[in-house]
Structure 1
Amino acid sequence: MDWKTFQALLSGVNKYSTAFGRIWLSVVFVFRVLVYVVAAERVWGDDQKDFDCNIKQPGCPNVCYDHFFPISHIRLWALQLIFVTCPSLLVVMHVKYRDDRERKYRAKHGPDAKLYDNTGKKHGGLWWTYLISLFVKTGIEVAFLYILHHIYNSFHLPRVVKCPIFPCPNVVDCYISRPTEKKLFTYFMVGASAICIVLNICEILYLLAKRISSCTKRRRSRQELAVPLYKPPCRDQDSNCTLPMQYLEQKPQYKSRSKLSVPPVDYKTSVFMRASAPNLSFA
């Protein structure tokens, strides 16, 4: 496998990922790809050659090895890395598709025309592609962990296995080479895979929460911009006229003035004067 080409392809995913996606990519490269290339291949490189049985019956060691190791850890992890990183390439392909549409649109409508504000921004179809890729990656990680757990009995590698399979004449004891070292590497790779699953779940929740928050803000802004067609006036409690709400603080002060420039008279004085002089009027 050409790991340089593999790294070059995945480096493009880092441009369009969130913070959780960048952490996931770092974990994949540092704790999985580099450990796989540097150490894991050497640990499992001689597993079949050093699988010793206490009998030299032709075919017996090969059959016993195939029974206890139906698929090698190193090959299973290689398949897991390939399948896990493939959904991320869908995001890059979608962005390239947007770039191509943008180029054709500008060639048709002029260099200043724009079909997308930003081809790498996660909205519309690209958001759904990114979210689906996260679900697919999480499902693949869980599936490979289940396969490894099912085949190797809870990721455990015993020192001695007993093989009663034909053509072995009886129950044969076979010895696995470096079982402790292989067990430690198995737990390490399983732990790195579990961390990647947690990061994928956190990124899914982050994308959903961000989408819900943006939809809520957009709905509130639309409600604030909406103006009612008719607004009933508010009745002034001090008079029989109706005034809008914004003019209640600016009500004119009603003052009684006399035609003869007589100073205003209070209510009690006017009542007393009317009682004493009925024909007198204050206009």
Structure 2
Amino acid sequence: MDWKTFQALLSGVNKYSTAFGRIWLSVVFVFRVMVYVVAAERVWGDEQKDFDCNTKQPGCANVCYDHFFPISHIRLWALQLIFVTCPSFMVVMHVAYRDDRERRYRAKHGDSNCKLYNNVGKKHGGLWWTYLISLFVKTGIEFSFLYILHYIYDSFYLPRLVKCNVAPCPNLVDCYIGHPTEKKVFTYFMVGASCLCIILNICEIIYLISKRFVRIAKKINRGHRNMNVHQNDYNKDPFNNNKETMLRRDLKDQPPSFRSAFKSSHRVSGLKMEEKIRASAPNLSVS
């Protein structure tokens, strides 16, 4: 396994991760990859030779070892590290896809300032969903490997002595595991690191979802504020005479009532009678 290439690929994931994602990567490198490479491989280096049974029956030790260790802890952890880190490459590939779209968009429009994305690594839209799905997949893989480890060995505890009666063993045979205490310590350490990674993934999922809800709530509040501002400006506008014009139009469109017509005609006739009386009356003023 080329750990340098593995580290180079994961370092690209670090650029697009949140704070919880960076802590997760640190835990994976320091507490899992480094422990695996430096110490765990040496402890489980030649474990089959250290597995000793109190019989010389040919094939009995091999069959008993395969019965109690169908898959080695060290190989199971290697598979776990590979499968756990693979979903993070989904984010890197999605960002690379965005980069390619951005490059083709600029080449099509021929303008360097013309952008399809404000930031190709910003977790919005499809990239947000890709990142969230990768977190769910990583958490599921961690739970699956912990269950497999517990199911195969019936617990995370490694005993010093195991009893085997599998053929071709002639009877109940006692077999002894090499370095049981040391292997037990590393087993608990790797299980604890895996549980810590699960907690970090759950915290990151909660952080992303809560941040998305807060952003949506802010957009809704901003939309309500804009609507209220426009409505207040409409009501406070001194040049807004829509209501007055509508009232005037309504008054113009309505036909005059009988009373108003009678009053207006009575006023006009009264004025004409006053003018006639004044014209016919003699001028009695003395010069």
CA distance in 1, matches of 2:202, 2:233: 49
CA distance in 2, matches of 1:230, 1:38: 70
The AA in structure 2 aligned to 1:113 is C
Unaligned runs of 5+ in 1: 234-241, 243-283
Unaligned runs of 5+ in 2: 237-243, 245-287
The AA in structure 2 aligned to 1:112 is N
Q: Which residue matches 1:154? A: 155
After the TM superposition, which parts of structure 1 deviate over 3 Å for at least 4 consecutive aligned residues?
228-233
CA distance in 2, matches of 1:79, 1:210: 33
By how many angstroms is 1:228 displaced?
Answer: 3.3
By how many angstroms is 1:219 displaced?
Answer: 0.7
By how many angstroms is 1:230 displaced?
Answer: 9.9
**Kindly tell me: are residues 232 and 106 of structure 1, through their superposed partners in 2, closer, same or farther at Cα, counting changes over 3 Å?**
closer
SS at match of 1:165: coil
CA distance in 2, matches of 1:119, 1:109: 18
- 1:61-210 to structure 2, matched below 5 A, reads 61-110=61-110, 111-210=112-211
Q: Which residue matches 1:52? A: 52
CA distance in 2, matches of 1:232, 1:197: 56
SS at match of 2:87: helix
Q: Which residue matches 1:228? A: 231
CA distance in 2, matches of 1:230, 1:8: 57
Q: Which residue matches 2:253? A: none
By how many angstroms is 1:232 displaced?
Answer: 7.1
Pairwise CA RMSD of aligned residues? 1.5
Q: Which residue matches 2:8? A: 8
CA distance in 2, matches of 1:217, 1:88: 30
Q: Which residue matches 1:259? A: none
CA distance in 2, matches of 1:137, 1:189: 16
1:37-81, CA deviations, whole angstroms, 9 ceiling, x for partnerless residues?
000000001110110000111111000000000000000000000
Which has the larger helix fraction?
Answer: 2
SS at match of 2:61: helix
By how many angstroms is 1:5 displaced?
Answer: 0.2
1:16-35, CA deviations, whole angstroms, 9 ceiling, x for partnerless residues?
00000000000000000000
CA distance in 1, matches of 2:194, 2:140: 12
The AA in structure 2 aligned to 1:137 is K
CA distance in 2, matches of 1:76, 1:230: 68
The AA in structure 1 aligned to 2:188 is Y
Q: How many residues align?
A: 234
CA distance in 1, matches of 2:109, 2:174: 76
Q: Which residue matches 1:237? A: none
SS at match of 1:228: helix
CA distance in 2, matches of 1:160, 1:184: 17
Q: Which residue matches 2:277? A: none
The AA in structure 2 aligned to 1:205 is I
* Sequence identity (%): 77
The AA in structure 1 aligned to 2:173 is V
By how many angstroms is 1:109 displaced?
Answer: 0.5
Of 107-116 and 33-42, the range deviating more from structure 2? 107-116
By how many angstroms is 1:231 displaced?
Answer: 6.7
Q: Which residue matches 1:27? A: 27
CA distance in 2, matches of 1:44, 1:74: 7
CA distance in 2, matches of 1:219, 1:11: 37
By how many angstroms is 1:112 displaced?
Answer: 1.9
The AA in structure 2 aligned to 1:54 is N
**Structure with larger RCO (C-alpha < 8 A, sep 6+):** 2
